[in-house]
Amino acid sequence: MANQHREIPDRNGMPGFGLGTWQNDDPDACAESVRTALDIGYRHVDTAQIYRNEAAVGRGLAAADVDREEIFLATKVWTNKLAHDDVIESTEESLERLGTDYLDLLYVHWPSGEYDPEGTLSAFEQLQADGRIERIGVSNFEPEHLEAARDAIDAPIFANQVEMHPLLQQRELREICADAGIELVAYSPLARGDVFDVDVLSEIADANGVSEAQVSLAWLREKAVTPIPKATGSDHIRDNWASLSLELSDDEIERIDSIDTERRKVNPDFGPSAW
């Protein structure tokens, strides 16, 4: 493919750029978007049980001309499946829907519902020991939840997937995760489209002849964060992919760093940020 020369950063064995599939709930469109992304050059695909599209993602994986071993595949266990035995059972169901016998990364979707650090994460350890998952992840964890999770099991927490973008820069969490050797994965990296209305990002985009989306994704890459922008249409999938060719200057990075706002787009009443 023409774009495959673009180099995806390596984040401790995880491709540092991926395709998000939240709200990609039309089965045919979802399967086609996954196939398209993989054929373009993406190698990291993210889904979740609650997205109800794992079977469609699996169809896209099977349709792409890419070996399974080259793909980093992640899904997440929903809050009502976080009791120990439910984790095991629901993950086996996810594997069946995805058409694979292992996951590169499995996340606790939220520290809520049936979540219990020891009970939940011991099931993740068991899945890892059984070869069903390669890495253990958490999502939407604040610093105190990370600490409790790390204390609960011997296996390392590989990644924390959180909302992050120039309008929610997660400075404290970035520092804590860096110190702990935990990768940060950014969902909603375009702030649900709000990045297109930020003057600083528009000015930098115009100066480089790119989109505000590419600027936001390039900024996240400079912070050693792995963005997983969701996209269904080929144009958006390709535009996001093109961000890998954008190198921001030190001045441009500083201008984005100086954006002084906290605009959280995902804040359900069961989430820690709403407590």
Q: What is the rounded distance in angstroms from the CA atom of residue 28 to the CA atom of residue 120?
A: 33
Instruction: Establish whether 102 is a catalytic residue.
Output: no
CB neighbours of residue 227 within 10 Å? 28
Q: How do 14-15 and 10-11 pair as beta strands?
A: antiparallel
Kindly give, in sequence order, each residue whose CB lies less than 8 Å from that of residue 117, ignoring residues fewer than 6 positions away.
148, 149, 151, 152, 153
Instruction: Give, in order, the Cα–Cα distances in Å from 265 to each of 52, 63, 190, 273.
Output: 21, 33, 10, 11
Catalytic one of 42, 51, 115, 187? 51
Handedness of CA 66, 93, 135, 139 (dihedral sign): positive
Q: What is the rounded distance in angstroms from the CA atom of residue 29 to the CA atom of residue 263?
A: 30
Catalogue the active-site residues: 51
